Amino acid sequence: MQETGKSFVEYLMTCRMERAMELAGTNAKMFCTATEVGIPDPNYFGRCFKKYTGVSYSEYVNSISSKN
């Protein structure tokens, strides 16, 4: 895509992970978040989330919780 400089797959994953980060702020369970963002396999979602954010889903949720 010329507008974003990313391929469609990269853009889609960015959208999914940004939404997942929003849902993590609500203390949603990982498998629920995975399904919500369109990745039905929680294991694959966990790998994608860690690759995108640098931390696991549970670490991210805990860091959000400790800030509030």
Delimit the domains of the chain by residue range.
8-67
Q: Which string of DSSP letters, residue by residue, matches 13-58? A: HHHHHHHHHHHHTTT--HHHHHHHTT---HHHHHHHHHHHHSS-HH
Read off the pLDDT of residues 2-59 as tens digits, 9 standing for 90 and up: 677 889 999 999 999 999 999 999 989 999 999 999 999 999 999 999 999 999 999 9
pLDDT band at 67 (very low <50, low <70, confident <90, very high): confident
Closest CA to 46 of 11, 7, 16: 16
Name the CATH topology of 8-67. Arc Repressor Mutant, subunit A (1.10.10)
